[in-house]
Amino acid sequence: MTDTRFDLFGNDVAARFATRFAGAARVVAQSPLPPATAELVSLRASQINGCGFCTDMHTTEATAAGESAVRLHLVAAWRDATVFTEAERAALALAEEGTRLADAHTGVSDATWARVREHYDDDQVAALLCLVALINAANRLNVIARTPAGSYRPGMFAAAQQ
């Protein structure tokens, strides 16, 4: 286990930033994007980025919302799993390609974009794009600060999102 480098939750500047960040997250949460899809996307990006804190948070929140353990365990292998809808697969592909921008060199492929547009309306697409940007930013903050995983409780940040 590594030691926390910086307590993002105990610093005034970081706390003020987190309040605004939570406001942006609230916009996504209040969108027509299915909450289960949002949690799966957030979980997958967090896995790719190696963010233990966010992986803990999104697994915990998804479980509390009734998501099955099977689906959560298979997010990392979604291409080979039969438990995701075609719409969820499109969102997970977008999350992966949007997270691995430097790896792909081309960003999100036209094929993935077409699949997303096939399953989601404009407001849902906007929410997906904002969600991918937000979760990647959260991952980077927590990975850099080495925020530890394992102590997240369901609804821990709910008050900040109201």
pLDDT of residue 139: 97
Q: What is the mean pLDDT of residues 124-130?
A: 98
Distant-in-sequence, close-in-space partners of 127: CB < 8 Å, separation ≥ 6 = 27, 28, 31, 32, 33, 38
In a domain, 158, yes or no: no
Residue type present at position 156: M
Residue whose C-alpha is closest to residue 160's, from 56, 9, 32, 34: 9
The pLDDT confidence band at residue 73, using thresholds 50, 70 and 90, is very high
Q: Which domain holds residue 64?
A: 12-152
Whether pLDDT at 138 is above 70: yes
> What is the number of alpha carbons within 13 Å of residue 143 lying toward its C-beta?
14
pLDDT of residue 82: 98
In a domain, 127, yes or no: yes
Whether pLDDT at 1 is above 70: no
Whether pLDDT at 77 is above 90: yes
Whether pLDDT at 43 is above 80: yes
DSSP state, 79? G
The pLDDT confidence band at residue 84, using thresholds 50, 70 and 90, is very high
User: What domain count does the chain have?
Assistant: 1
In a domain, 126, yes or no: yes
Whether pLDDT at 11 is above 60: yes
In a domain, 50, yes or no: yes
Residue type present at position 108: V
In a domain, 7, yes or no: no
Whether pLDDT at 156 is above 60: yes
In a domain, 1, yes or no: no
Q: How far is C-alpha 15 from the chain's CA centre? A: 20
Whether pLDDT at 68 is above 80: yes
∠ CA(108), CA(124), CA(73), 5° rounding? 70
Q: What is the mean pLDDT of the chain?
A: 93
Tell me how far apart the alpha carbons of residues 4 and 72 are, in angstroms, rounded to a whole number. 26
Range scoring the smallest mean pLDDT among 12-21, 51-60, 76-85? 12-21
In a domain, 105, yes or no: yes
Whether pLDDT at 45 is above 70: yes
Whether pLDDT at 159 is above 60: no
CATH number at residue 97: 1.20.1290.10
Whether pLDDT at 105 is above 90: no
Residue whose C-alpha is closest to residue 17's, from 26, 27, 9: 9
The two tokens of residue 34 are: 């299915």
Q: How far is C-alpha 66 from the chain's CA centre? A: 17
In a domain, 160, yes or no: no
